[in-house]
Structure 1
Amino acid sequence: MAACFLFEALSGSHMLRFFNRLSKNRLPWVLLACSALALEAAALYFQYQLKLDPCVLCVYERTAVMGIVLSGLIAILAPELLIVRGLAILIWGGSAGWGLQLALKHTGIQLFPSPSNTCDFVASYPGWAKLDEWIPWMFQPTGFCDEIQWQFFGFTMPQTMIGVYAVYLLILLIVVLSQFVKKERSIFRN
Protein backbone atom coordinates (compact mmCIF):
# COMPACT_ATOMS: atom_id res chain seq x y z
CA MET A 1 0.00 0.00 0.00
CA ALA A 2 2.84 2.42 0.85
CA ALA A 3 4.47 1.62 -2.50
CA CYS A 4 1.22 2.59 -4.28
CA PHE A 5 1.17 5.93 -2.43
CA LEU A 6 4.82 6.56 -3.31
CA PHE A 7 4.28 5.73 -6.99
CA GLU A 8 1.25 7.99 -7.10
CA ALA A 9 3.16 10.82 -5.45
CA LEU A 10 6.01 10.56 -7.94
CA SER A 11 3.77 10.77 -11.00
CA GLY A 12 3.59 14.53 -11.63
CA SER A 13 -0.07 14.77 -12.65
CA HIS A 14 -1.29 13.21 -9.42
CA MET A 15 1.09 14.84 -6.95
CA LEU A 16 -1.30 17.57 -5.77
CA ARG A 17 -4.18 15.12 -5.37
CA PHE A 18 -1.83 12.88 -3.38
CA PHE A 19 -0.90 15.76 -1.05
CA ASN A 20 -4.55 16.77 -0.80
CA ARG A 21 -5.44 13.29 0.46
CA LEU A 22 -2.42 13.27 2.79
CA SER A 23 -3.46 16.60 4.31
CA LYS A 24 -6.79 15.06 5.30
CA ASN A 25 -5.12 12.31 7.36
CA ARG A 26 -3.64 12.54 10.83
CA LEU A 27 -0.30 10.82 10.21
CA PRO A 28 1.32 13.62 8.14
CA TRP A 29 0.30 16.17 10.76
CA VAL A 30 1.73 13.93 13.50
CA LEU A 31 4.97 13.78 11.51
CA LEU A 32 4.99 17.57 11.14
CA ALA A 33 4.55 18.04 14.90
CA CYS A 34 7.14 15.36 15.70
CA SER A 35 9.72 16.85 13.34
CA ALA A 36 9.36 20.22 15.04
CA LEU A 37 9.47 18.58 18.48
CA ALA A 38 12.71 16.88 17.43
CA LEU A 39 14.14 20.32 16.60
CA GLU A 40 13.10 21.57 20.04
CA ALA A 41 14.73 18.54 21.67
CA ALA A 42 17.91 19.21 19.69
CA ALA A 43 17.89 22.85 20.85
CA LEU A 44 17.60 21.74 24.46
CA TYR A 45 20.37 19.19 23.94
CA PHE A 46 22.64 21.92 22.55
CA GLN A 47 21.76 24.16 25.49
CA TYR A 48 21.96 21.75 28.40
CA GLN A 49 24.34 19.00 27.24
CA LEU A 50 26.71 20.94 24.98
CA LYS A 51 26.41 24.11 27.12
CA LEU A 52 25.62 26.42 24.19
CA ASP A 53 23.88 29.55 25.45
CA PRO A 54 20.80 30.56 23.40
CA CYS A 55 20.52 34.19 22.39
CA VAL A 56 17.35 36.23 21.98
CA LEU A 57 17.00 35.28 18.32
CA CYS A 58 17.60 31.62 19.25
CA VAL A 59 14.68 31.60 21.68
CA TYR A 60 12.49 33.43 19.17
CA GLU A 61 13.39 30.78 16.60
CA ARG A 62 12.38 28.16 19.18
CA THR A 63 9.07 29.97 19.50
CA ALA A 64 8.58 29.77 15.73
CA VAL A 65 9.30 26.03 15.83
CA MET A 66 6.75 25.65 18.64
CA GLY A 67 4.24 27.32 16.31
CA ILE A 68 4.88 24.53 13.81
CA VAL A 69 4.34 21.97 16.59
CA LEU A 70 1.07 23.73 17.45
CA SER A 71 -0.08 23.68 13.83
CA GLY A 72 0.45 19.93 13.64
CA LEU A 73 -1.41 19.39 16.91
CA ILE A 74 -4.35 21.50 15.76
CA ALA A 75 -4.64 19.60 12.48
CA ILE A 76 -4.49 16.25 14.29
CA LEU A 77 -7.83 17.12 15.93
CA ALA A 78 -9.82 16.92 12.68
CA PRO A 79 -7.68 17.01 9.52
CA GLU A 80 -10.65 16.17 7.31
CA LEU A 81 -12.30 19.52 8.16
CA LEU A 82 -11.15 22.36 5.92
CA ILE A 83 -11.48 24.95 8.69
CA VAL A 84 -9.16 22.98 10.98
CA ARG A 85 -6.66 22.29 8.17
CA GLY A 86 -6.84 25.93 7.14
CA LEU A 87 -6.08 27.16 10.66
CA ALA A 88 -3.19 24.71 10.95
CA ILE A 89 -1.84 25.80 7.56
CA LEU A 90 -2.03 29.49 8.58
CA ILE A 91 -0.16 28.86 11.84
CA TRP A 92 2.38 26.66 10.05
CA GLY A 93 2.99 29.32 7.39
CA GLY A 94 3.19 32.19 9.85
CA SER A 95 5.56 30.30 12.12
CA ALA A 96 7.85 29.02 9.37
CA GLY A 97 7.90 32.41 7.65
CA TRP A 98 8.69 34.23 10.89
CA GLY A 99 11.34 31.62 11.74
CA LEU A 100 12.99 32.07 8.35
CA GLN A 101 13.02 35.83 8.83
CA LEU A 102 14.63 35.41 12.27
CA ALA A 103 17.23 32.92 11.00
CA LEU A 104 18.17 35.28 8.14
CA LYS A 105 18.56 38.18 10.58
CA HIS A 106 20.56 36.00 12.97
CA THR A 107 22.85 34.85 10.16
CA GLY A 108 23.40 38.45 9.12
CA ILE A 109 24.39 39.41 12.66
CA GLN A 110 26.85 36.52 12.88
CA LEU A 111 28.41 36.87 9.44
CA PHE A 112 28.43 40.67 9.22
CA PRO A 113 28.95 41.95 12.78
CA SER A 114 28.75 45.70 13.28
CA PRO A 115 27.54 48.07 15.98
CA SER A 116 24.38 48.70 13.95
CA ASN A 117 23.70 45.00 13.31
CA THR A 118 22.86 43.64 16.78
CA CYS A 119 20.07 42.09 18.80
CA ASP A 120 18.68 42.55 22.28
CA PHE A 121 19.97 40.59 25.26
CA VAL A 122 16.55 40.28 26.94
CA ALA A 123 13.53 38.68 25.26
CA SER A 124 10.53 40.93 24.71
CA TYR A 125 7.58 38.57 24.47
CA PRO A 126 4.16 40.24 24.60
CA GLY A 127 2.42 40.47 27.97
CA TRP A 128 -0.10 37.77 27.02
CA ALA A 129 2.70 35.27 26.22
CA LYS A 130 5.65 35.85 28.55
CA LEU A 131 7.34 32.60 27.57
CA ASP A 132 10.70 33.72 28.98
CA GLU A 133 9.06 34.04 32.41
CA TRP A 134 6.65 31.09 32.20
CA ILE A 135 9.12 28.58 30.73
CA PRO A 136 12.55 30.10 31.44
CA TRP A 137 14.46 26.83 30.97
CA MET A 138 13.46 26.90 27.31
CA PHE A 139 12.84 30.54 26.37
CA GLN A 140 15.22 32.54 28.59
CA PRO A 141 18.11 33.92 26.48
CA THR A 142 21.57 33.72 28.06
CA GLY A 143 23.85 34.12 25.04
CA PHE A 144 24.82 36.68 22.42
CA CYS A 145 23.49 36.72 18.86
CA ASP A 146 26.83 37.44 17.21
CA GLU A 147 28.63 34.55 18.90
CA ILE A 148 29.11 31.47 16.70
CA GLN A 149 29.15 28.54 19.11
CA TRP A 150 28.48 25.66 16.73
CA GLN A 151 29.03 24.73 13.09
CA PHE A 152 28.09 21.72 10.99
CA PHE A 153 29.93 21.34 7.67
CA GLY A 154 30.80 25.02 7.94
CA PHE A 155 27.21 26.15 8.51
CA THR A 156 26.24 27.98 11.68
CA MET A 157 23.13 27.16 13.68
CA PRO A 158 21.01 29.94 12.13
CA GLN A 159 22.23 29.03 8.64
CA THR A 160 21.10 25.47 9.29
CA MET A 161 17.74 26.79 10.45
CA ILE A 162 17.38 28.78 7.20
CA GLY A 163 17.43 25.42 5.41
CA VAL A 164 15.00 23.87 7.89
CA TYR A 165 12.49 26.71 7.57
CA ALA A 166 12.86 26.71 3.78
CA VAL A 167 11.98 23.00 3.68
CA TYR A 168 8.96 23.59 5.93
CA LEU A 169 7.83 26.42 3.64
CA LEU A 170 8.34 24.36 0.47
CA ILE A 171 6.23 21.51 1.86
CA LEU A 172 3.66 24.05 3.02
CA LEU A 173 3.45 25.51 -0.49
CA ILE A 174 2.71 22.08 -1.93
CA VAL A 175 0.08 21.43 0.77
CA VAL A 176 -1.56 24.82 0.15
CA LEU A 177 -1.67 24.26 -3.61
CA SER A 178 -3.11 20.79 -3.06
CA GLN A 179 -6.08 22.30 -1.18
CA PHE A 180 -7.32 23.81 -4.45
CA VAL A 181 -7.30 20.56 -6.44
CA LYS A 182 -10.70 19.41 -7.53
CA LYS A 183 -11.75 15.91 -6.69
CA GLU A 184 -11.04 13.53 -9.56
CA ARG A 185 -14.17 11.96 -11.00
CA SER A 186 -14.16 8.53 -12.49
CA ILE A 187 -16.68 7.04 -14.89
CA PHE A 188 -16.37 3.78 -12.98
CA ARG A 189 -17.31 5.24 -9.57
CA ASN A 190 -20.25 7.28 -8.36
Structure 2
Amino acid sequence: MNHRYSQSLANWPSLRWPWLLLASTATALTLTALYFQHSMHLAPCEQCIYQRTAVIAIALGAWFTAINPQLLIFRLVGYSSWLGAAIAGFSSAHYHVWLQTGINAMFASCNLEPNFPSWLPLHELLPSVFAVTGLCSDVDWSFLGLVMSQWMRIIFALYISVAVFIISYRLWKLRRF
Protein backbone atom coordinates (compact mmCIF):
# COMPACT_ATOMS: atom_id res chain seq x y z
CA MET A 1 0.00 0.00 0.00
CA ASN A 2 1.53 3.32 -0.97
CA HIS A 3 2.16 5.93 1.70
CA ARG A 4 -0.29 8.50 0.34
CA TYR A 5 -3.20 6.05 0.27
CA SER A 6 -2.40 4.65 3.71
CA GLN A 7 -2.19 8.15 5.14
CA SER A 8 -5.58 9.06 3.64
CA LEU A 9 -7.12 5.87 5.05
CA ALA A 10 -5.83 6.86 8.48
CA ASN A 11 -7.52 10.24 8.04
CA TRP A 12 -10.94 8.84 7.14
CA PRO A 13 -12.34 9.28 10.66
CA SER A 14 -11.66 13.03 10.37
CA LEU A 15 -13.67 13.25 7.16
CA ARG A 16 -17.43 13.62 6.94
CA TRP A 17 -18.20 11.11 4.16
CA PRO A 18 -17.19 7.92 6.04
CA TRP A 19 -19.46 8.89 8.93
CA LEU A 20 -22.28 9.66 6.51
CA LEU A 21 -21.75 6.26 4.89
CA LEU A 22 -21.88 4.53 8.29
CA ALA A 23 -24.97 6.52 9.28
CA SER A 24 -26.65 5.72 5.96
CA THR A 25 -26.07 1.98 6.22
CA ALA A 26 -27.45 1.87 9.77
CA THR A 27 -30.40 4.07 8.80
CA ALA A 28 -31.12 1.81 5.81
CA LEU A 29 -31.06 -1.25 8.09
CA THR A 30 -33.48 0.46 10.47
CA LEU A 31 -35.85 1.39 7.65
CA THR A 32 -35.63 -2.17 6.33
CA ALA A 33 -36.54 -3.53 9.77
CA LEU A 34 -39.53 -1.18 9.94
CA TYR A 35 -40.57 -2.26 6.44
CA PHE A 36 -40.37 -5.90 7.49
CA GLN A 37 -42.45 -5.13 10.56
CA HIS A 38 -45.12 -2.84 9.15
CA SER A 39 -45.39 -3.93 5.49
CA MET A 40 -44.47 -7.61 5.63
CA HIS A 41 -46.07 -8.04 9.09
CA LEU A 42 -43.04 -9.77 10.62
CA ALA A 43 -43.42 -9.33 14.37
CA PRO A 44 -40.20 -8.30 16.17
CA CYS A 45 -39.22 -10.24 19.27
CA GLU A 46 -37.29 -8.97 22.29
CA GLN A 47 -33.90 -9.74 20.71
CA CYS A 48 -34.99 -8.11 17.43
CA ILE A 49 -35.80 -4.94 19.36
CA TYR A 50 -32.39 -4.97 21.08
CA GLN A 51 -30.68 -5.42 17.70
CA ARG A 52 -32.80 -2.63 16.22
CA THR A 53 -31.84 -0.37 19.13
CA ALA A 54 -28.16 -1.15 18.53
CA VAL A 55 -28.46 -0.27 14.83
CA ILE A 56 -30.23 2.98 15.72
CA ALA A 57 -27.45 3.80 18.21
CA ILE A 58 -24.86 3.27 15.47
CA ALA A 59 -26.84 5.54 13.14
CA LEU A 60 -27.34 8.29 15.73
CA GLY A 61 -23.68 8.25 16.76
CA ALA A 62 -22.55 8.42 13.13
CA TRP A 63 -25.00 11.21 12.22
CA PHE A 64 -23.78 13.15 15.25
CA THR A 65 -20.11 12.61 14.38
CA ALA A 66 -20.72 13.71 10.78
CA ILE A 67 -21.58 17.17 12.12
CA ASN A 68 -17.89 17.84 12.84
CA PRO A 69 -15.60 14.81 12.58
CA GLN A 70 -12.51 16.99 12.85
CA LEU A 71 -13.20 17.48 16.57
CA LEU A 72 -11.93 14.68 18.81
CA ILE A 73 -15.00 14.74 21.07
CA PHE A 74 -17.28 14.11 18.08
CA ARG A 75 -15.09 11.22 16.89
CA LEU A 76 -15.02 9.72 20.39
CA VAL A 77 -18.83 9.75 20.46
CA GLY A 78 -18.84 8.14 17.02
CA TYR A 79 -16.27 5.50 17.90
CA SER A 80 -17.95 4.56 21.18
CA SER A 81 -21.48 4.40 19.77
CA TRP A 82 -20.28 2.48 16.70
CA LEU A 83 -18.20 -0.09 18.53
CA GLY A 84 -20.30 -0.30 21.70
CA ALA A 85 -23.60 -0.69 19.88
CA ALA A 86 -22.13 -3.14 17.36
CA ILE A 87 -20.80 -5.35 20.17
CA ALA A 88 -24.14 -5.19 22.01
CA GLY A 89 -25.99 -5.94 18.77
CA PHE A 90 -23.69 -8.86 17.96
CA SER A 91 -24.24 -10.27 21.43
CA SER A 92 -28.00 -10.01 21.06
CA ALA A 93 -27.95 -11.49 17.54
CA HIS A 94 -25.72 -14.34 18.69
CA TYR A 95 -28.08 -15.11 21.59
CA HIS A 96 -31.03 -14.88 19.20
CA VAL A 97 -29.40 -17.41 16.86
CA TRP A 98 -28.88 -19.70 19.84
CA LEU A 99 -32.54 -19.33 20.83
CA GLN A 100 -33.64 -20.26 17.32
CA THR A 101 -31.19 -23.07 16.63
CA GLY A 102 -30.26 -24.44 20.06
CA ILE A 103 -31.00 -27.95 21.18
CA ASN A 104 -34.00 -26.74 23.15
CA ALA A 105 -35.20 -24.23 20.56
CA MET A 106 -38.80 -25.34 21.10
CA PHE A 107 -38.57 -24.39 24.77
CA ALA A 108 -36.50 -21.23 24.34
CA SER A 109 -38.36 -18.08 25.09
CA CYS A 110 -37.79 -14.41 25.52
CA ASN A 111 -39.57 -11.62 27.33
CA LEU A 112 -42.73 -10.08 25.95
CA GLU A 113 -41.42 -6.66 26.87
CA PRO A 114 -37.91 -5.27 26.34
CA ASN A 115 -35.85 -4.46 29.39
CA PHE A 116 -35.14 -0.78 28.75
CA PRO A 117 -34.13 1.50 31.63
CA SER A 118 -37.06 2.96 33.59
CA TRP A 119 -35.89 6.46 32.65
CA LEU A 120 -36.07 5.61 28.93
CA PRO A 121 -38.90 3.14 28.26
CA LEU A 122 -38.59 3.22 24.47
CA HIS A 123 -41.24 0.53 24.05
CA GLU A 124 -43.75 2.84 25.78
CA LEU A 125 -42.55 6.08 24.17
CA LEU A 126 -42.48 4.71 20.62
CA PRO A 127 -44.27 1.36 20.53
CA SER A 128 -44.49 1.22 16.73
CA VAL A 129 -40.69 0.89 16.67
CA PHE A 130 -39.72 -0.68 20.01
CA ALA A 131 -42.64 -2.83 21.20
CA VAL A 132 -42.21 -6.60 21.26
CA THR A 133 -44.94 -8.31 19.25
CA GLY A 134 -43.28 -11.61 18.32
CA LEU A 135 -41.48 -14.58 19.83
CA CYS A 136 -37.73 -15.15 19.65
CA SER A 137 -38.19 -18.72 18.43
CA ASP A 138 -40.26 -17.64 15.40
CA VAL A 139 -38.47 -17.97 12.07
CA ASP A 140 -40.59 -16.14 9.51
CA TRP A 141 -37.95 -14.97 7.03
CA SER A 142 -34.79 -16.31 5.45
CA PHE A 143 -32.51 -15.30 2.62
CA LEU A 144 -29.83 -17.50 1.05
CA GLY A 145 -30.45 -20.11 3.72
CA LEU A 146 -29.86 -17.77 6.66
CA VAL A 147 -32.52 -16.41 8.98
CA MET A 148 -32.64 -12.77 10.02
CA SER A 149 -30.81 -13.27 13.32
CA GLN A 150 -27.94 -14.96 11.45
CA TRP A 151 -27.78 -12.08 8.96
CA MET A 152 -27.74 -9.59 11.82
CA ARG A 153 -24.88 -11.47 13.47
CA ILE A 154 -22.91 -11.15 10.22
CA ILE A 155 -23.81 -7.46 9.86
CA PHE A 156 -22.75 -6.66 13.42
CA ALA A 157 -19.53 -8.66 12.95
CA LEU A 158 -18.79 -6.53 9.89
CA TYR A 159 -19.50 -3.32 11.80
CA ILE A 160 -17.16 -4.48 14.59
CA SER A 161 -14.42 -5.56 12.16
CA VAL A 162 -14.47 -2.30 10.23
CA ALA A 163 -14.51 -0.23 13.44
CA VAL A 164 -11.58 -2.13 14.94
CA PHE A 165 -9.64 -1.91 11.68
CA ILE A 166 -10.24 1.82 11.16
CA ILE A 167 -9.53 2.78 14.78
CA SER A 168 -6.45 0.55 15.02
CA TYR A 169 -5.08 1.72 11.71
CA ARG A 170 -5.57 5.35 12.67
CA LEU A 171 -3.85 4.83 16.01
CA TRP A 172 -0.98 2.95 14.40
CA LYS A 173 -0.51 5.35 11.49
CA LEU A 174 -1.12 8.69 13.20
CA ARG A 175 -0.37 7.68 16.79
CA ARG A 176 -3.52 9.52 17.88
CA PHE A 177 -7.32 9.38 17.61
On whether the aligned pair clears a TM of 0.5, the verdict is yes
Q: Which residue of 1 aligns with 2:154?
A: 163
CA displacement 1:46-104 (0-9 Å, x = unmatched): 11111100001111110000110011012112101122212210111110000000000
Query: Distance between the aligned counterparts of 1:101 and 1:183, measured in 2?
Result: 31
Name the SS of the counterpart of 2:119 in structure 1.
helix
| Aligned-pair CA distance for 1:123 | 1.4
Q: Does 1:102 align with 2:92?
A: yes
Query: Distance between the aligned counterparts of 1:132 and 1:41, measured in 2?
Result: 17
Q: Could you tell me which of 62, 65, 81 is aligned with 1:72?
A: 62
Q: Does 1:48 align with 2:41?
A: no
Larger radius of gyration: 1
TM alignment of 1:83-98, pairs within 5 A: 83-98=73-88
Q: Which residue of 1 aligns with 2:128?
A: 137
Query: Distance between the aligned counterparts of 1:15 and 1:167, measured in 2?
Result: 22
The alignment-based identity, stated in percent, is: 32
Q: Could you tell me which of 14, 18, 21 is aligned with 1:31?
A: 21
Q: Which residue of 2 aligns with 1:61?
A: 51
> How many pairs does the alignment contain?
173
Query: Distance between the aligned counterparts of 1:67 and 1:54, measured in 2?
Result: 18
CA distance 1:15–1:125, shift in 2 (3 Å): farther
Please list every run of 5 or more consecutive structure 2 residues that lacks an aligned counterpart in the other structure. none
Which letter maps to 2:33? A
CA displacement 1:124-177 (0-9 Å, x = unmatched): 210121110111101011000001010001100000001100111111011211
Please list every run of 5 or more consecutive structure 1 residues that lacks an aligned counterpart in the other structure. 1-10, 185-190
CA displacement 1:8-40 (0-9 Å, x = unmatched): xxx276665333211111111011111000000
Query: Distance between the aligned counterparts of 2:28 and 2:130, measured in 1?
Result: 16
